[in-house]
Each structure stands twice: as C-alpha cells, then as structure tokens.
Amino acid sequence: MSGGREQYLAELGIPVWQLRESGTPAERPPATVPAVAVGPVADSDAWTELATEVRGCTLCPLHQGRTQTVFGVGRRDARLFVIGEAPGADEDRQGEPFVGRAGQLLNAMLRAMGLPRPEVYIANILKCRPPSNRDPEAAESAACTPYLSRQIALVRPQVLLAVGRIAAQWLLQTDVPIGRLRGRVLSYGEHNTPLVVTYHPAYLLRSPLAKATAWTDLCLVKDLLSESS
C-alpha cells in the first residue's frame, strides 16, 4: 500500500498515536499482506447454479418485498470473506452488499488492512432486504444461510470476518454479546475456518469511539492472513 495506511486510518477516524500506545495487536509493525495470486475462476458451474437459485428464490417471505436479491461480490478465490447481516435500502436498489455510507466505511477498513474491496468476497446472511431494515428473523436466516455456506465452500477463504452482532451470532449459533465475541480468533464450519468478529460499519458510524476497538480486530485478521500465507 503506497503510504496510505495513515490516510485510511484517518478515514476511520483513528489517531495513529493512539494505536501505537494501545498495547494491543495494533502496536505491532504493520504486517504486509501478500498480494493474492490471480488464478482461474474455479467451480464456475457451481457459482452459476447458485446465483441462479438465489435470483429466483422464494424460500422465505422476504422475496415479496425485494427489488432484487443481493448475492455477494468479490473475488471467488478471496483469502478474506466478509459477512454482514442483510441488504438495506441502497443494497436492495443496487444489488450489491455494503454500498452507501456503511459500505464506504467498510471499504476504508479493508484498505487499512491492505486489502482493497475487490480483493475480498463480501456477502450477507440474508440475500433479500427485511422490511424497514428490521433484524432478520430466525426462520429467514435458516432458509437463507445455506446459500452463504455454499458461497464460503466455493471461495474457501483463509479467514472469515463477521461484521455486526447479527452475522456473528448466527454464524456461531450463540447469543453471546458481540463485545465478548470480538477481539479473538473463533472458528466456523467443518473446516474450522478462522473467524474474527468486529462491529458493523453502520454501528461505527453511530459510535466513532468504537473505531479504535474495531481496528484491533482488523489487525487480528491481518495477522491471521500473514500467518497463513
């Protein structure tokens, strides 16, 4: 990253001096995240089949109110897979996860890790927007998350990053508060893929003081990616 780390931290609203005195993983020298090799897109038939299924899905009542499904976006061989909650109004309109202000902050968080948005894969627990942006209901998540599981299986990421309480609690099947889930390495699925939890960018926009805490989570992700390269 060309001298941009401080700039991206500034976008996150994080003073650099604060990070270096924090006593957290953030004080370590910035790990260099190696570039991801560009390779052939694997399992293209499976991706096409999955995208077609999602596009026409009527498994839960949310299909009635959607403008379109929001499948996911990014590299199909990404090392990092970011998982959010559900599409909001902007996502429903544009058909892409994490657009709008929260999406811009997520992009800044990713850049601060040395991973521009196109280098990762991003998807949500739900592929259709809940009305009035309410929390997903358990039955909706149960109906929809097999799609996410198939996406994760196809991407085979080295690290999962769950952003926000809803995504974290569903993936881990727990009601433990996000404050106790973040800041450590958990695991997901039969392959025990390392999973890190952090705050949702929409929450960080409302609570800027939590950005420094979120940065320590991102440093954890960065360290995991460096270790597995």
Footprint of ligand SF4 (CB under 6 A)? 54, 57-60, 62-63, 69, 126-128, 140, 143-144
In the complex with ligand SF4, which residue's Cβ is closer, 1 or 59?
59
**141 token code pair:** 């998540």
- Are 217 and 106 in contact by the 8 Å Cβ rule? The answer is no
Minimum separation from the CB atom of position 133 to ligand SF4 (A): 14
Task: Find the helix or strand (DSSP H, E) in which 169 lies.
Answer: helix 165-172
In the complex with ligand SF4, which residue's Cβ is closer, 8 or 147?
147
In the complex with ligand SF4, which residue's Cβ is closer, 30 or 95?
95
In the complex with ligand SF4, which residue's Cβ is closer, 5 or 93?
93
Q: How many residues are listed for the chain in this entry? A: 229
Minimum separation from the CB atom of position 127 to ligand SF4 (A): 4
CA dihedral 167, 168, 169, 170 (to 10 degrees): 50
Minimum separation from the CB atom of position 59 to ligand SF4 (A): 4
What distance, in Å, lies between the first and last C-alpha atoms of the chain? Answer: 17
Minimum separation from the CB atom of position 140 to ligand SF4 (A): 6
Minimum separation from the CB atom of position 58 to ligand SF4 (A): 6
- CA distances 179 to 19, 91, 176, Å, are 19, 27, 8
In the complex with ligand SF4, which residue's Cβ is closer, 77 or 140?
140
Q: What is the DSSP string of 116-168?
A: -GGGSEEEES-SSPPGGGPPPPHHHHHHHHHHHHHHHHHH--SEEEEESHHHH
Residue pointed to by tokens 């960080």: 204
CA pair distance 158, 136, nearest whole angstrom: 27
Minimum separation from the CB atom of position 162 to ligand SF4 (A): 18
In the complex with ligand SF4, which residue's Cβ is closer, 34 or 146?
146
